[in-house]
Amino acid sequence: MARLLPWLYSCIDDVAPDVTFVEPTKEQRKWNMRENFAWLSIRGLDTNGNAEQLRSRVKNYIDQPLGPPSILPPPGGGVGNIIEMIGSLKAMVARIMKQCVSTEDIDDIECHIKLFLSSFESFDIAMRNTDTKPTWLTSYNFMCLINVPKMIQEFGPVRNLWEGGGQGEKIIGLLKPLWFGFRKNWHVNLLSNLLKRMAIDRVQCAFKKIDEKSSCTPSCGQDIEDDMESVDELDINSLNQSQKMVHKYINLEEIRSRFENRKPMSVVCMRNGTFACILRNNTAVELHCEVVHETFCGCWYHKWSIPNEIVQHQYTINDIAHYCLLLPRMTPDGMPTMNNEAIFTLVDSEWMDIQQDKTLKLPKAPNT
């Protein structure tokens, strides 16, 4: 969700305008009740009363020597507050989720946590009552962010602490099919059977790669770290990851159809800087990232194209540098159609965004 937020909010300027009421051009004495109510409401004034009372109240304010009261800013402040908060959130999460961290990274994480909390306070202060405590002080989740740098310094990257795989709660799903009640030595037999099943799966996966040179996903123990030696210069963990991180298209027609209809697409970035879609026959089809078009909500958008003469070429897992999503430029009405230009932005699995020069880098917090 953090990776996609800037894309999802890219049209917020269009769908959340700051002006919600346009003052009628006719004389104020001819305004109806709804128009008088709206005039008072956007200024935070009293809106109680019947039509005649509202009309009289509006007239009194307009006739003041210093003029009518100013229009209040929209709840949450301007749209810029939301954009800044979204950008700061993604920049913070991108750094917290790094697989390898150094001392400099920890300092960078701490800095971006404070930048996010500051941007959230700018947004939140316009939403809450003046006598209410800041949300980041009363919410446990926000306060815990301050502890993250110290936790990473002591225990390492947070991605190593995830408990969703075989090293955590998911172990229950791996053990249950092998458990047949509290018999003698049930715990020893249970773990022995699990380890045997995992070992068999790893061996089957290795031999399948030798035979097919294609990715595979073992049925059991797929989330347990595999310390086998590489087989035929292919690392099984990388192969399993590639299976999960990229969608393989059926044929060229499917790729062209999704592109021409401006749909999100699964692509990879090769180590030579080119972008491609992957087919089920394990060939790559290049996409061309052309001139930069514009930037919205912190995302760079480029014009993209598919060559008329599509050329397929072989690749290896080692050729892939990034697993990415190609995301079309949203419109105020939602997803674009084939009538819209082929304008896309791109994010990868490590929270990096495409930049103006077509490289992939970690996002920066706004105003830094």
Q: What are phi and psi of 19, to 5 degrees?
A: -90, 120
Residues 6+ positions from 52 with CB-CB distance below 8 Å? none
Local structure of 343: helix, strand or coil: strand
* Per-residue confidence (pLDDT) for residue 241, from 0 to 100: 54
* Per-residue confidence (pLDDT) for residue 76, from 0 to 100: 61
* Per-residue confidence (pLDDT) for residue 210, from 0 to 100: 63
| 316/300 Cα distance (integer angstroms) | 29
pLDDT in tens, the chain (368 residues): 888 999 998 888 776 655 567 788 899 999 999 999 989 988 889 999 999 999 999 999 999 998 899 887 766 677 888 889 999 999 999 999 998 899 999 999 999 999 999 999 988 888 777 778 888 888 888 989 999 999 999 999 988 877 666 667 777 888 888 888 888 889 899 889 888 888 888 788 777 666 655 444 444 444 434 434 443 334 444 445 556 789 999 999 999 999 999 999 999 999 999 999 999 988 999 999 999 888 888 889 999 999 887 777 888 888 999 999 999 999 888 899 889 999 999 999 999 999 999 999 999 888 77
* Per-residue confidence (pLDDT) for residue 167, from 0 to 100: 67
* Per-residue confidence (pLDDT) for residue 75, from 0 to 100: 66
Burial 221-231 (b: 16+ CB within 10 A, else e): bbbbebeeeeb
| 344/216 Cα distance (integer angstroms) | 30
| 266/87 Cα distance (integer angstroms) | 23
Which of 34, 81, 30 has its CA nearest to residue 59?
Answer: 30
Secondary structure element (H or E) that encloses residue 145, with its range: helix 140-145
Q: At what angle do helices 148-155 and 103-124 cross, to 10 degrees?
A: 160
* Per-residue confidence (pLDDT) for residue 219, from 0 to 100: 42
161 secondary structure, DSSP code: G
Q: What are phi and psi of 268, to 5 degrees?
A: -125, 150
What ranges do the domains of the chain cover? 5-10+76-161, 19-62, 172-245, 248-361
* Per-residue confidence (pLDDT) for residue 162, from 0 to 100: 73
* Per-residue confidence (pLDDT) for residue 10, from 0 to 100: 86
3-state secondary structure 291-327: EEEEEECCEEEEEEECCCCCCEEECCHHHEEEEEEEE
CB 252 within 8 A of CB 281: no
* Per-residue confidence (pLDDT) for residue 123, from 0 to 100: 87
* Per-residue confidence (pLDDT) for residue 139, from 0 to 100: 86
* Per-residue confidence (pLDDT) for residue 227, from 0 to 100: 39
